[in-house]
Amino acid sequence: MKKIGIYGLYSEQSIGDHYILDGLINQIRSNFEEKVEIIVFSYSPCSTRALLSNTNISVMSATPISSSKSKDQNYSEEREIRSIIKQKFKKILDSHPNLWFSVDPILLSNFNFWKKIHNKLQGLDLFVFGGGNILMDLYPYRVFYHYIYSQLCGITNTPAMYYSIGAGPLRSVRGRFYFNQTLKNIDYITTRDKESLQLVEHVLNTENTHTELAADPALCLDLGESKSEHNMKRPIESDTTQIAVSLVPYYKKGYWPDPEQEIYHTYLETMVEALTNISETRDASLTFFATNHPTDLEPAEQILKRIDDDVSVKILRDKLTGKELVLWLKKFDFALCTRLHSLIPTFVSGTPFVAYAYQPKVQYFCSRIGHPSQAIDLSQDSDRIIDQTQQALATAEEWSGTIPDHNQKLNALRSSANKSVQLAKAIVDSDQHDFR
């Protein structure tokens, strides 16, 4: 039996993480002829075990810190790092990122843990850095873990690849140094968008690593339904326009890497005005949903407090699975999406959308499916955001209930996404462990 290891964050709170992991696992199981044993190396092992509780997939702690907190499903690695390094030194490190080099030995200090990882890697046919925006240096300590795993893959002669990942930012000297060292033991890099591919090829040394454009594994989510059911639109019984809305705690303290409370409050006020405008001009009923649960419910609650009582607003507090969310979104006339992994299930559902590009990856996806003007840059001033929301919604109205050429575009993206698993299969089926 072949064995594949998958490495990533995969927290229980992030439904997007679940989409990615579920899609990746579905790709592997659908494309390998023989049964494959999968081991997930997770930053949030207890959360990941909860996500995979009905499967026979095993889960390991990806880091010694997550291993030490195995009973806490909602632990924050950022808080754990801060408990190791006194806060005053953390501030210095944030001000001088290259000083993080001096902290790296702390992350290697648990010899028994890394010996255990070494032994697990030794039995794998492939190690995958799997999906999501993981090739970045926004979180300095995570960069070093990529380097450690790649070195252990080199020592154990285990093939490794980056699988349909997003990339960037890659700004620090330390980040570029460690990722360049990491790539020495990486056979393939596939990215979910061309902008990530261009960044990787421009910033990193990919001379000995094959790079290729793929697509997000979440597009290959196992919906567990017939094709006819998947394509069926089930409208809500209502005379009003039904709009699903996803939000993020944009620049909110305690969530954003570099928080700015003033920006967060401006964002809330802008969304209140935009949603009130939509409600009044389209006789619309709004339903908030979360793809990072319960994190995304906080800005929804704040808007609920601020918006006029005569605006029809409610909050879906349930945490839906990927399949459930796709089917739920089909009930709506439109969706206003913010997170990438609220946009992707909306696209899979075929529901017309407007996207708020809180990060570039949202704009990248809209451009790839041929609708760049549907993405609205949240860094603009409020008036432009509100005006562009109306323009994008007017465009969505012209789509007559479904995204133009939806099935064709979805099938093309899924075909592109499967390039990653085809490369993975080629590595696993090869007799050579050095596949370059």
Rounded to whole angstroms, how far apart are CA atoms 399 and 353?
A: 10
Task: Tell me, yes or no, whether 108 and 182 share the same domain.
Answer: yes
Task: Tell me, yes or no, whether 202 and 346 share the same domain.
Answer: no
Cβ atoms of 163 and 423 closer than 8 Å? no
Task: Tell me, yes or no, whether 354 and 314 share the same domain.
Answer: yes
Domain assignment of residue 303, yes or no: yes
Domain assignment of residue 424, yes or no: yes
**pLDDT surpasses 60 at 235:** no
Domain assignment of residue 227, yes or no: no
Q: What angle do CA 9, 149, 144 make, to 5 degrees?
A: 75
Angle between helices 322-329 and 340-349 (to 10 degrees): 60
**DSSP-based three-state secondary structure for 71:** coil
Mean per-residue pLDDT for 239-265? 93
* Weakest mean pLDDT among 131-140, 162-171, 232-241, 383-392: 232-241
Whether residue 64 has a cis bond before it, omega within 30° of 0:
no
* Weakest mean pLDDT among 50-59, 195-204, 356-365: 50-59
Residue-level pLDDT at 222? 83
Task: Tell me, yes or no, whether 388 and 240 share the same domain.
Answer: yes
298-357 confidence digits (pLDDT tens): 999 999 999 999 999 999 999 988 889 999 999 999 999 999 999 999 999 999 999 999
Task: Tell me, yes or no, whether 206 and 286 share the same domain.
Answer: no
> What is the residue range of 310's domain?
234-401
Task: Tell me, yes or no, whether 305 and 173 share the same domain.
Answer: no
DSSP strand pairing (375-377 vs 210-213): unpaired
Task: Tell me, yes or no, whether 88 and 109 share the same domain.
Answer: yes
Task: Tell me, yes or no, whether 218 and 314 share the same domain.
Answer: no
pLDDT-based confidence at residue 91 (cuts at 50, 70, 90) = low
Mean per-residue pLDDT for 70-86? 48
pLDDT-based confidence at residue 101 (cuts at 50, 70, 90) = low
pLDDT-based confidence at residue 413 (cuts at 50, 70, 90) = very high
Residue-level pLDDT at 212? 97
Whole-number average pLDDT of the chain? 88
Residue-level pLDDT at 185? 96
**pLDDT surpasses 60 at 268:** yes
**pLDDT surpasses 90 at 270:** yes
Domain assignment of residue 311, yes or no: yes
Task: Tell me, yes or no, whether 266 and 314 share the same domain.
Answer: yes
Domain assignment of residue 276, yes or no: yes
36-64 confidence digits (pLDDT tens): 999 999 988 988 888 888 889 999 999 88
**pLDDT surpasses 60 at 371:** yes
Amino acid at 280: E
Q: Is 273 left (phi over 0), alpha (psi -120 to 50) or beta?
A: alpha
**pLDDT surpasses 80 at 432:** no
| CA dist 126 → 2, 257, 342 (Å) | 9, 32, 30
Mean per-residue pLDDT for 141-161? 93
pLDDT-based confidence at residue 94 (cuts at 50, 70, 90) = low
**pLDDT surpasses 90 at 167:** yes
Domain assignment of residue 228, yes or no: no
* Total domains in the fold of the chain: 2
Task: Tell me, yes or no, whether 321 and 185 share the same domain.
Answer: no
Q: Is 65 exposed, middle or buried (0-12, 13-18, 19+ CB in 10 A)?
A: buried
Domain assignment of residue 135, yes or no: yes
pLDDT-based confidence at residue 173 (cuts at 50, 70, 90) = confident
Per the DSSP assignment, residues forming a β-bridge with 335 are 244, 353
Mean per-residue pLDDT for 266-275? 97
Indicate which CATH number applies to the domain containing 384: 3.40.50.2000
Domain assignment of residue 436, yes or no: no
Selection from 409, 357, 407, 411 nearest residue 380 by Cα: 357
Task: Tell me, yes or no, whether 254 and 136 share the same domain.
Answer: no
Selection from 123, 1, 3 nearest residue 424 by Cα: 3
How far is C-alpha 186 from the chain's CA centre? 21
Task: Tell me, yes or no, whether 125 and 242 share the same domain.
Answer: no
